[in-house]
Amino acid sequence: MDAHDTPNLQGRGCAYSDKLNEQSLFIDDVLVAHAADCLFRLLYHKQIQKHGAFVNLESGRVNPILV
């Protein structure tokens, strides 16, 4: 267990924790929904028109990254 307790594996101090606290509570759910939709379109329709998106939960805007 102590072999995994290194700065390389654990990160420096609380910086990682601080970054997680800056995120919105539901950002992961939003990203998973968009990723699942993209994967569904790729598998079902055999093509996609976008391969990602920038999500701003504060403004509610989603800007696609076109292929």
39-55 per-position pLDDT tens digit: 999 999 999 898 888 88
pTM, rounded to two decimals: 0.57
Predicted pLDDT of residue 12: 61
Cα–Cα distance, 39 to 32 (Å, whole number): 10
**58 DSSP assignment:** T
Which residue ranges of the chain lie beneath pLDDT 50?
none
